[in-house]
Amino acid sequence: MTAPLPEAPLLEARGLAKTYLTPRTAFRPPGRVAAVAGVDVTLEAGASLGLVGESGCGKSTLARLLLRLVPLSGGSIRFAGQDITDLSERAMRRLRRRMQLIHQNPSAALDPRLTVMSAVAEPLRIQGIARGRALHDRVAALLAEVGLPGDFLHRHPHELSGGQKQRVCIARALALEPQLVVLDEPTSALDVSVQAQILDFLGALRRQRGLSYLFISHNLAVVRQVCERVAVMYLGRIVEEGPAAEVLERPQHPYTRALLASVPRLGVAGVAAAAPGDPPNPADPPPGCAFHPRCLVAEPACRTTAPALNFARGEDHRVACHVAARRGLPEMTETT
């Protein structure tokens, strides 16, 4: 990336936290679930950050916090230089045209009774941006931009394939000309041949419109294709963060390494079971480093003290691991 650095990042969050209280039921006492526990996120204008991790790690909650779709339990958020932590709902609604969310399942994100025209026109109408002929022309232009033919305007979702539905959702998100687009597993419900088309298209779109992406995915190979930077989450915290090529080719955190080693590779027989056990229950997190019960290099300190996210391997690559921070881990070897 050689683009000149803007003065302030588009999105900057410090110490974000979300704790859910689980009510008392006949079967269990009330409890607290720390879905996101003190996370910092910085996203430069025009950049793309991938957020990876397994189910329950808090990546989707983090995205919703950043868009202020759920109330924060702690921390602060700045968007385009403005502190939006305590912004009123009214003010947030005006701001939301600049930040859009694309969901995993396009079939669930579209109202089955609305035509493509109505679905894409809805945000324009709600924000009072266009009416009548101008509205129609604007929607037609958006459809053309996402690569759908003009006669799709009057179709309903059930007449579209999964990939076409996701393009409609993208057109709807673009309607308000956002700066930030949060994509929550945008291709996970799609077949691989369609996924490749959508990823390609999303990349071109970002370059043309200068968008910033926060790209949530469980698929490391997809993130490697789309994102310049990547943050790896485990149980509500970021455990490793840096340039995508750095993190995914020279991972420092034992969890990142286990994730990478677990991905079955094309044409390679066998797969290494690199992290024993299951991801922990967020309602009952292990003390110290949350990964220590599954970690193959854990030390006594890991059982008591949670490691901070510190620099490793230069300015740009941070890792939250006692062992990696002190002596570094040996170079990772390709597992076969």
Partner 1 sequence: MTTLLEIADYRLAFDTFDGTHHVLDGIDLRLDAGETLGVVGETGCGKSVLARSLLQLNPSPPARVVSGAIRFRGEDLLRLEEAALRRLRGRAIAMVFQDPASYLNPLLAVATQMEDAIRGQDSAAGGRPRPRRAARALAAELLSAVGLPEPQRLLASHPHQLSGGMRQRVLIAMALAGEPALLVADEPTTALDVTVQAQVLALIDGLVRARGLALMLISHDLGVVSASCARVAVMYAGTVVEEAPTPELIARPLHPYAQGLIAAVPDLGRPEAKPRGMPGSIPSLLHPPSGCRFHPRCPLASERCRVEKPLRRTLLPGRSVACHHATP
By CB under 8 A, name the binding residues for partner 1.
Answer: 54-55, 161-163, 191-200, 218-222, 224-225, 245, 248-249, 258-276, 278-279, 294
What is the phi-psi region of residue 75: left when phi exceeds 0, alpha when psi lies from -120 to 50, beta otherwise? Answer: left
Compute CA distances 147 → 28, 105, 198, whole Å. 51, 19, 10
Is the Cβ of residue 21 or residue 245 nearer to partner 1 in the bound state?
Answer: 245
Q: Across the strands, what pairs with 213?
A: 48, 181
Residue 148 Cβ vs partner 1, minimum distance, rounded to whole Å:
13
Q: For residues 68 and 294, which CB has a smaller minimum distance to partner 1 in the complex?
A: 294
Number of helices (H) and strands (E) in the chain: give both, helices first: 12, 12
Instruction: Answer left, alpha or beta for residue 277, where phi above 0 means left and psi between -120 and 50 means alpha.
Output: left
CB distance 332 to 257 below 8 Å: yes
Taking the C-alpha atoms of residue 75 and residue 15, their distance in angstroms, rounded to an integer, is 4
Q: Say if residues 295 and 255 touch (Cβ distance below 8 Å).
A: yes
Report how far residue 115's alpha carbon sits from residue 48's, in angstroms, rounded to the nearest whole number.
31
Q: CB 132 → partner 1: shortest distance, Å?
A: 34
Minimum CB separation from partner 1 for residue 272, in Å? 6
Nearer to partner 1, 5 or 269 (CB): 269
| Residue that the structure tokens 């008591």 belong to | 304
Minimum distance from residue 255 beta carbon to partner 1 (Å): 9
CB of 107 to partner 1, least distance (A): 12
Q: Which is nearer to partner 1, 5 or 192 (CB)?
A: 192
- Nearest approach in angstroms of CB 133 to partner 1 is 32
Closest CA to 331 of 313, 304, 314, 317: 313
In the complex, least distance from residue 281 CB atom to partner 1, rounded to whole angstroms: 9
The nearer residue to partner 1, 162 or 286, going by C-beta atoms, is 162
Q: Which is nearer to partner 1, 85 or 219 (CB)?
A: 219
User: Torsion-angle region of residue 60: left (phi > 0), alpha (psi -120 to 50) or beta?
Assistant: alpha
**Which is closer to partner 1, CB of 119 or CB of 248?**
248
